Structures are given as C-alpha cells and as structure tokens.
C-alpha cells in the first residue's frame, strides 16, 4: 500500500501549511531515503522552535546597562571630572572585570544548561530507508513516516495513516482536559501526549510551521524560582535597602559637616556598589549549573535547575519497583498450561500477542522464549492492539490457512474476564496467581479466541494458561536502600503488583514486610489518615496511576518533601506533583517531560547519588549566602560608623573598588568547592543563616575597630597609612571568613577547601598585600605593617570559627528543644 500525503484538513484552530505549497509524497512501507531526508532538512530547516539568539556584543552590552553599572559609570565620570585619574582607571577596570566575570559565569551556566537540554532532547521512531530507526526529533522532515505509541510526545504535526486507535492529550495546546480520540486522516499535533493506542503517521509540518510552533508563546512555562532562590533574593533586597539607607545617612552627615559634595557622592556611589550583592543571582545559577553537570555525569539529568534544592530536601522517596528496585530484566519460569493445552501452545499464543517491531519489557521476555518459534512463522499477524493501563492486555489478529484467530495476553484477572471460565476454574486459577505471587512471580494470563466454537457457533475466548514472570532485585538495591535510610530518607516501594509479590521483593531488599494494598490505604478516612498509613508502611501495592498522585499529595500535606519515581505516561501527574519527580531510565517521553530529574542509568543507586550531590550543592549555596551577608554587614557597618562617629573615611574610594574586584574571584570558585553531605535532608533556614552571618559580620566590625584604635591612638600612624592597613585587613580577613562559613565545624576540619577555591583566595590576598606594601594606587605600608595585619587577621580566624561553632550549637539546641515537645505530642496522639 502506498500512502500519498496530502495537505491535512483544516482544523477549527488552524492546521500547518507547507512553506512552498508543495505536497511531499511518501511510501509508507519504506519511508524517505536518507538523501531525501537530508534535502528536505536543508529546505525546511530543523524541527525545532525558533529561539531568540543574542549576539555576543549585545550580551556584553547588557552588563554596562542597568542600575548597578550606572552607579559604577557615574562614579567613573565623577572621578574624571575631579581629575582623580587613578580612581578613574581602577573604577573602569572594576566595571570591565565585573562585566567579564558575569559574562564568563553566564556563558558557563548557559553551556551547561544547553548540554543538559541536548541530553533530554526528544527522539522519534522513524521509517527511513525501509528500516525503523530512533532519531532525534529535531531531524524530522515533512514526509517522514513516524510511529506513535503510548507515552510518546508527538514530535511534529502528522497525518495519521495506519493503525486502529489513538488517544492524545492535547491539553497543553487547547486547554481541553479530556484526551481526544484520533482517526485515520486526522492530524496528531506536535506536543500532544499519546495516552492510549498506537498509530503510524506521516509528518505534515515541522518546527514553527506546526500548530504548537504557531502558539508557542501561549504554552511556555513560567520561570519558577525555588524557595531557596526567593529567600536569597529577598536577602539581597534587604541588603540593598539597608545600604541605600546608610549611604543616605552618610551623605546627610557629610553635607552637615560641609564636606566636599562631589567627592562624598563619588565615595557613596562606590560604597553602594561594593556593598550590594550584585553577583548573587549569577553565583547561584553557576553553582547549580556546575552541580547539574556533575549530576549528569552520575547519569541524573536535571531538567529544572531549581529542582536541585528540592532534591536536597527530600525525606520520603517513593520508588517504583520495576526498573528501579528490580533489574527490569524479565525472565520466564515454567509455563502453567490449562488441561488439554501444551506449554508450547501457551507460549505461541503469547508470542503472537506481542509487538515484535517495538517490544516492551514483557514482550521482549516472551519473544526471547525459544519454544514454539518455528510454528509462529506459519501465522500472518494482522492488526495489533498494544497494552495500555486501562485495558491491561494486548491483542493480535493472526491468520493461518485462511482462518483468522485472536490472541491476547495481560493481567490474569482481565484475561479471566475475557474467557469467562466457570467459578471453580476461576477460583483455582486465581489461587494459582496468588501462590505464584507469594514466590515472587508475576503471572501473565494468555487466551485465544476460536471462531464458531461456542454455543450456537459463536466466537469464544479460551483461557490457555499462566506464564510466570520474575524480575529479580537489583544487585545494589539492598545496599542503596540502607544508604538512603542512613541519609534520613524513608523509602517506600510503590508497585502495581500484588502485595504478595511486593512483600517478597521488599523482604529481599531489607525494606520490611509491612506492604499494604492501595485499596486499604485509600479506603475512607481523611488525608491525614492516608498519609499516616503510608508513613507506617514499607510499601504500597496494587497502585493505580491516580493513586501515585494521591500518595504524593497526602505526604506533602504532612510537610514531607517527596520524590517520586516513574516511567509511564500515567505517572506524569504524580511526577509533576512531586517535589522531585524522577523519570527512571527508559521512561516514556511524557514521563520525562513531567519530571524534574531524568535518570539515564538503571537503579536506585543513581537516585541516592543524585540526592547526595544535591546536598553538596545546597551547602555551597548556603556557604555563599552566609559569607556575602557577613561581608556586607562587616564593610558597610564599619564604614558608616567610622564616618559618623570619628568623621574619618577609613578607606578611600579606590580601595573600595579594589576590594570589590579582588572579592569577585574567590566568589567565582565557591561553585567548585568541596562540601560535606548533610546526614539528614536539608531545608533552607533563613533565620539561621541571617543569625550566623550577622554574628560574624558584627565580630568583623569589632576586630576592625580595635585595629583602627590601636594604629591611630597607640601608634599614631599617618591617616594614609591607616587607610591602607584597614584596606589590607578587610581584604585578608574577608577572604579568611570564607573558610569559616564553608565549614560547620572548626575551619581546619574536613572537607578542606578545593584547590580552586584555596589557590584563588590566597592569590587575591597576596595580590592585595603587594598593592598595600608597594603602594599601587594607595599609600605604601611596607612589609612590617603588612605582616602585622596578616598576623592580626589570622589570630582572629579561630575566634571567628569558635563564634560560628557556638552560634550553630545554640541554634541546634533551640531547634531540638522545640522539636522534642512536638514529637512527644505526636507519639501520644499515635498511641491513642
């Protein structure tokens, strides 16, 4: 049969049109040749939505336009107007360095995100050169023959040309919540999710010519910020407002004292720029992007960077049994045929009811069985109905010697409903299924419909027997579950299998034997009762797709951060609802699109490794936030108090610029720092971070005032020398604070700083020391005073570490004191 693709009928919402009005023709038996596809790809372009590209020059220009660059530029103009050319040169250098650092960091993050997008790119099953191939969806061209099956995201607009049934979810395009049934000749739209059925179509439009492409702006997802990002950006806003208020106060006092207005304004502009955490969003993005690259190397691809925070806080992991806890390598045990039926007949029927072209895991196991293979070639298979979660069975029509026979395999209860054996036989078969389940076997029912063998010559289905299937636990699953539980995760096995099978597998994995059926979990009771049952259980069996969604919701209502694994199209709602939806290896396109994390490696070990790395990333971000707040408080409060109380500018404008530039480089390296893995799930605790940062910042103010008092009152040094000493102290002590904020214990304990962070910190400290010693843009102080500053700053380092340790312990004690009464109350309620 040759199918000639014609222009699709115009839907009410509008169909895509060919760019040149031509109507490509395709032989549906062979598809396009590679040469034809290459020509059409050159003509029509890739099957992708146009993305607005920004030139390098335009990107660079953005770093010189905005409130912060304007302040730096204004300070540079004022320096030139006042003929402070040294200041002018350093300020311009600061502007260029800030722009260069941000550009490099953004490029780094962008490259990482682009690489992850490539890893998550859709693929399609395409007929090219008379051979079915899996190709990137962006390589599709009009005229390509593509097979759609359950779980696929339709990769392009296509006219359906072969097949019996297809149901597609077009809610992302039309807002229609119910799936739409598709018939031959109708258009399956790009971006729709195949919910049921299987059909073959011919691509009619690609890229921006698709209906999805024309309405792309209507379906773009919003840019959601995580709790962590919102919290840290709120800190940034708070610091900005505080800075502006203090700077305004400095200007008013200076005017009252009749200080030179323009010099004061220049100083205040530069102080504002140095105090405001300009790099905060960039550092966060880069830290997450670098972490995402590491996760990708661990075979866990993050589709949303902000989901890293959620992954770090996961305390309940709902793990799919098949493919996550087990090997997903199905093997067949001894067939259980009915009386008068041979094992070969059962296997032959099961093989004929399998999809040989694109088999799933069960089909592969059945087709791998050698028995009956020779006889299978005698049959000509016609129509095939694939498995779907509603019917729970497959069906094929096969012809032998002119007679067509139907074969079906699937869930035993469904096949029994089809064959309708008498009550005695049904009870016996059902008991057999339960017995197999107790041994860890999942049973497949197999049936055949013979023409005219029923009463009155009716067609009748005949139950042929059971095929036991076993999916053994993964070799590393038990050890990984033990590791996850040590990390503070509660692992719940979620499976659609019978609870006897689930209990047997759970026992092997060390999960415990408390496996309950979904019916019992959701049998009446409030959401709190449902969540309590799930919390007590080690696993939930006989789970339907809608149950997964409800399990996630119930646990979230109890303030749990939930990760859910899944692979099917019907898992998508639960994956999207979960705080961290994880699509396992081999998941459908729909599941991958809904998930936050997509696994490319098998098993639960990948999930545990991903959670471990996410916690490291979280620690880096917390370390940076604490350091940045402490430094802002330290510099801003000291400057303000010095000017207001002593009528003395402790550092010059050019020194502030140098501090800001030299601080940029260590901050860049925080994303690559070594970080410890928290023993328990982590959550963003803003009051804790603010308290630790404020204590360190205020101690820094005390340290600096003591030094200022000593060199001014005791040593009577010239003011220019004092300013350089204060500059060097702020630089050296500020960089040392990074070592305190990055470690929850003493600063010398493991994990030690990464080589990148340590070398960058020390290099900038040495550079600042050379500037102070030899007087580059500042008053020189020589090596003696410089060594004294270093000794002073290092002497305070263990004191700062002790303060941070003490504050952390006080906060931990307070948190534990608040938690214990709540736990006692909960235990008292549970006991009753």
DSSP 679: S
Distance between CA atoms of residues 296 and 218, nearest Å: 30
Distance between CA atoms of residues 128 and 787, nearest Å: 74
**Cα separations in angstroms, 762 against 283, 513, 753, 767:** 20, 56, 12, 9
Say which of 315, 320, 471, 579 is annotated catalytic: 320
DSSP string, 288-339: HHHHHHHHHHTTEEESSTTHHHHHHT--EEEEEIIIIIB----EE---EEPT
* Angle at the Cα of 477 from the Cα atoms of 466 and 557, rounded to 5 degrees: 95
**Across 652-718, where does the E strand assignment appear?**
none
Q: How many residues does the chain have?
A: 832
Nearest of 757, 723, 714 to residue 738 by alpha carbon: 757
> Where is 514: in which H helix or E strand?
none
Number of H helices, E strands in the chain: 29, 22
**Across 88-136, where does the E strand assignment appear?**
123-128, 131-136
Nearest of 203, 183, 198, 70 to residue 135 by alpha carbon: 203
- Report the 3 state secondary structure along 450-483: ECCCCHHHCCEEEEEEEEEEECCECCCHHHHHHH
Cα within 13 Å of Cα(701), Cβ side: 18
Residue in the structure block whose two tokens are 């072209």: 357
15 burial via Cβ count (<10 Å: 0-12, 13-18, 19+): buried
**Across 306-441, where does the E strand assignment appear?**
316-320, 331-332, 336-337, 380-385, 393-400, 403-410
Backbone angles phi, psi at 332, to 5 degrees: -90, 135
Distance between CA atoms of residues 57 and 40, nearest Å: 33
Nearest of 613, 737, 717, 714 to residue 667 by alpha carbon: 737
320 is catalytic: yes
Nearest of 201, 547, 210, 474 to residue 322 by alpha carbon: 474
Omega prior to 751 cis, within 30 of 0: yes
Is the separation of the CB atoms in 246 and 199 below 8 Å? no
89 burial via Cβ count (<10 Å: 0-12, 13-18, 19+): middle
Residues designated as active site: 320
């Amino acid at each position: 049969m040759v199918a000639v693709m014609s222009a699709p009928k115009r839907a009410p919402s509008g169909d895509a049109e060919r760019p040149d009005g031509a109507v490509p023709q395709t032989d549906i038996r062979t598809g396009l040749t590679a040469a034809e596809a290459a020509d059409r790809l050159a003509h029509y372009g890739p099957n992708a939505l146009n993305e607005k590209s920004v030139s390098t020059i335009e990107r660079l220009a953005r770093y010189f336009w905005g409130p912060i660059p304007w302040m730096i530029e204004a300070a540079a103009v004022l320096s030139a107007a006042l003929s402070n050319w040294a200041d002018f040169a350093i300020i311009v250098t600061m502007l260029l360095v800030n722009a260069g650092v941000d550009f490099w960091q953004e490029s780094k993050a962008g490259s990482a995100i682009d690489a992850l997008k490539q890893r998550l790119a859709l693929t399609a099953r395409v007929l090219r050169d008379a051979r079915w191939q899996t190709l990137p969806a962006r390589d599709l061209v009009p005229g390509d023959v593509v097979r759609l099956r359950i779980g696929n995201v339709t990769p392009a607009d296509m006219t359906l040309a072969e097949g019996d049934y297809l149901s597609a979810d077009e809610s992302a395009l039309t807002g229609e919540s119910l799936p739409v049934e598709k018939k031959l000749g109708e258009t399956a739209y790009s971006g729709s999710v195949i919910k049921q059925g299987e059909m073959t179509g011919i691509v009619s439009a690609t890229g921006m010519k698709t209906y999805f492409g024309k309405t792309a702006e209507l379906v773009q997802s919003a840019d959601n910020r995580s709790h962590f990002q919102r919290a840290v950006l709120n800190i940034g806003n708070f610091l900005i407002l505080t800075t502006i208020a203090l700077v305004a106060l400095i200007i008013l006092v200076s005017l009252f004292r009749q200080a030179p207005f323009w010099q004061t304004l220049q100083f205040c502009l530069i102080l504002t720029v140095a105090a405001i955490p300009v790099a905060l969003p960039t550092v966060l993005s880069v830290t997450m992007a670098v972490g995402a690259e590491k996760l990708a190397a661990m075979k866990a691809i993050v589709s949303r960077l902000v989901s890293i925070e959620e992954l770090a806080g996961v305390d309940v992991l709902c793990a799919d049994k098949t493919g996550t806890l087990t090997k997903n390598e199905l093997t067949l045990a001894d067939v259980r045929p009915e009386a008068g039926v041979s094992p070969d007949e059962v296997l032959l029927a099961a093989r004929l009811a399998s999809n040989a072209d694109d088999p799933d895991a069960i089909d592969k196991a059945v087709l791998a069985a050698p028995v009956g293979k020779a006889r299978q070639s005698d049959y000509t298979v016609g129509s095939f109905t694939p498995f779907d979660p509603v019917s729970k069975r497959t069906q094929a029509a096969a012809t032998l010697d002119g007679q067509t026979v139907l074969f079906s395999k699937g869930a035993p209860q469904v096949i029994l409903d089809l064959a309708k054996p008498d009550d005695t036989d049904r009870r016996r078969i059902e008991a057999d299924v339960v017995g197999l389940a107790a041994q860890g076997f999942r049973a497949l029912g197999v049936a055949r419909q013979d023409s005219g063998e029923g009463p009155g010559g009716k067609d009748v289905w005949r139950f042929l027997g059971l095929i036991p299937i076993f999916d053994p636990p993964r070799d590393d699953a038990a050890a990984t579950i033990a590791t996850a539980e040590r990390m503070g995760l509660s692992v719940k096995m979620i499976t659609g299998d019978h609870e006897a099978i689930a209990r047997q597998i759970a026992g092997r994995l060390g999960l415990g034997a408390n496996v309950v059926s979904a019916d019992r979990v959701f049998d009446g009771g409030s959401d709190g009762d449902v969540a309590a049952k799930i919390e007590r259980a080690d696993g939930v069996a006989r789970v339907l797709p809608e149950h997964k969604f409800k399990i996630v919701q119930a646990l979230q209502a109890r303030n749990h951060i939930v990760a859910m694994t899944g692979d099917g199209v019907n898992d998508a709602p639960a994956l999207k609802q979960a705080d961290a939806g994880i699509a396992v290896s081999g998941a459908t396109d729909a599941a991958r699109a809904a998930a936050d994390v997509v696994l490319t490696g098998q098993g639960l070990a990948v999930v545990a490794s991903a959670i471990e790395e996410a916690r490291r990333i979280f620690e880096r971000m917390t370390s940076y936030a604490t350091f940045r707040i402490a430094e802002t408080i330290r510099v801003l409060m000291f400057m303000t108090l010095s000017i207001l109380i002593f009528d003395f500018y402790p550092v010059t404008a050019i020194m502030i610029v140098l501090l800001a530039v030299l601080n940029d480089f260590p901050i860049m390296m925080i994303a690559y720092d070594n970080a410890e893995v928290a023993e328990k799930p982590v959550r963003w605790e803003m009051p804790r971070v603010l308290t630790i940062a404020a204590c360190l910042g205020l101690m820094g103010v005390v340290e600096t005032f003591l030094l200022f008092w000593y060199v001014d009152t005791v040593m009577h040094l010239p003011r220019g020398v004092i300013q350089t000493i204060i500059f060097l102290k702020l630089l050296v002590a500020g960089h040392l604070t990074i070592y305190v904020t990055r470690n929850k214990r003493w600063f010398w304990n493991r994990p030690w700083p990464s080589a990148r962070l340590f070398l960058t910190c020390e290099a900038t400290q040495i550079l600042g020391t050379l500037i102070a010693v030899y007087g580059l843009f500042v008053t020189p102080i020589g090596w003696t005073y410089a060594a004294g500053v270093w000794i002073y700053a290092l002497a305070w380092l263990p004191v700062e570490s002790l303060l941070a340790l003490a504050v952390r312990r006080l906060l931990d004690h307070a948190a534990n004191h608040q938690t214990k009464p709540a736990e006692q109350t909960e235990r008292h309620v549970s006991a009753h």
